[in-house]
Chain A
Amino acid sequence: MSTEVKEIKKTSEPLFSKKNRKLLSDPLNDSNPITVQVLGICSALAITVQVQQAVIMSLSVLFVMIGGNVIVSLLRNRIPDRIRIIVQLVIIAALVIIVNEVLKAFLPDISEKLSVFVGLIITNCIIMGRLEAFALGNKPGPSFLDAIGNAMGYAWILVAVAVVREIIGSGAISLPGMGQVKFIPSSWFIAEGGLYENNNLFILPPMALVVVGIIIWIQRSRNTKLIEEN
């Protein structure tokens, strides 16, 4: 009797139930892939010099993440257990190659700047982790939401770091389609007789780590349940 009730409940569960909404909101804060799980740090350091690179990178990860999660979830009862990691890798690799080819064809300049890091999405632990931990055991609907949640969790950290780095490092903001907009008047610069200078340290990867560290600090001071006991 009880099993019957459960089954009915399962099939009638709406896509945006409370449990499923948590799949979307959790990765943004409580289980953020970068600041809490510390995954995908490599690309977060490398391509956050400009906001437009960070945005395009985030969109690429979003696409690969959704595609990978949904495909693996659809195939979850067909994939042989012994080769499941290889299957996941092939699916991710295929999606990444498609993203790379599309960027090369339509956004050649950004593709050049992102260079190897688009290809390295394959090794981004967030994606493998979600396929293995979530999509293999859940239906396509929740997997889709989980993919969006995690990709957005990755994206907002990336964009936040890039905004800080680009403003302080280059005195500009760049958005896809707009190019780089320098908003600090040139007369402020020391070379022009002013008192301002861009901080070149922020263009270098180590400063990205410091910025990520500061974001983690702020996040933990506001969200005290993330602080470990010891």
Chain B
Amino acid sequence: MAINKNSNGYTFLFSIIMVVVVGSALAYTSQSLKPLQKANEADKKMVDILGAIKVPATRANAKEEFSKYVVERISVKYDGSEVNTASGDITAGDKTDPFNIDVKKEYRAIISKIIKSTKKDPEGRKQRLGDAEVTYPLYVCEKNDTTFYVAPVVGTGLWGPIWGYVALLEDGKTFYGTTFDHKTETPGLGAEIKESFFTVKFEGKTLNTSSETVFEVKKGGAVVDEHSVDGITGGTITSKGVGEMLNRTLPVYVKYLSNTSNQKAQK
């Protein structure tokens, strides 16, 4: 049994066996741990949504608190029309449940491509965003007999994705609370968007529903009014990303909420 360890045949055989063994081991681990990871992600999402309406929750009590405060989950099209509603318990894997819409995946797969290809064509961008098969989830929450609307937003920072949840008051245009997070922004600069000193700036500000840009994140030190906040010094591109995702996503909900309030008024 003299095998020449340095022959090409042996090297290839060894590599092939190694790849098959390692590949199947990893596939097995990934598949068997997926349900747990998915559940963790859902818990994190609930904690973030509750964070936007200033309900402190942990992973342990996320489900309980979520069902206590979030009364309805709605999915909305780009033009502001309603697609689906759901309330009560969440079934993992139920595609019609707005909670299971993966906004990050939709952003990565569809929206970010549209944004890239329509950099100089804002009209065309709107057209294509309207045509895209994307639904926007909205969470209706009730805390102390007040209604809040929580909307997820996703965008791009300097190095990678940024995202957050925006809680609007019942009028559908006043910020109640926000949470932002990021994957790989620069610590001390862009990464500061998740810190409370930045997120509190949004509270009480309103969306400018009569203008094209509903909200602005201005470059550090600029004069701000009720429709804008001061960005983060040294985190210009991340701040711009925050402004972009708010401006792209929130008008959808503004349209939806003004539609529904009109309907209510007619009734």
Contacts and interface: CB of A to CB of B under 8 A. Distances in A.
Which residue, B18, B25, B30, has most C-beta atoms of chain A within 10 A?
Answer: B18
A209 to B, nearest CB: 16
Contacts of A106: 36
Interface in B49-99: 59
A106 B59 CA distance: 12
A15 B40 CA distance: 42
Nearest to A205: B187
Given A80-B5, A81-B5, A105 B33 contact: yes
B223 interface: no
A104 interface: yes
- Interface of A, secondary structure class, is helix
Nearest to B43: A108
Most buried by B among A83, A102, A108: A108
B11 A82 contact: yes
A101 B6 contact: no
B10 A105 contact: no
B29 A90 contact: no
Interface residues of A, number: 21
B14 to A, nearest CB: 6
Interface string A70-96: 000000001111110011001100100
Contacts, number: 51
A121 to B, nearest CB: 15
The contact size tier of chain B is: 20 to 34
Contacts of B44: 108
Nearest to B21: A94
Nearest to A94: B22
Nearest to B183: A115
Interface in B106-161: none
B140 to A, nearest CB: 27
B26 interface: yes
Contacts of B259: none
A97 interface: yes
Given A81-B6, A108-B40, 6 more contacts: A80-B11, A83-B14, A94-B22, A101-B30, A101-B33, A105-B33
24 contacts: A78-B5, A78-B14, A79-B14, A80-B6, A80-B10, A80-B11, A80-B14, A81-B6, A82-B6, A83-B11, A87-B14, A94-B22, A94-B25, A98-B25, A101-B33, A102-B29, A102-B33, A104-B33, A104-B37, A104-B40, A106-B36, A108-B43, A108-B44, A108-B59
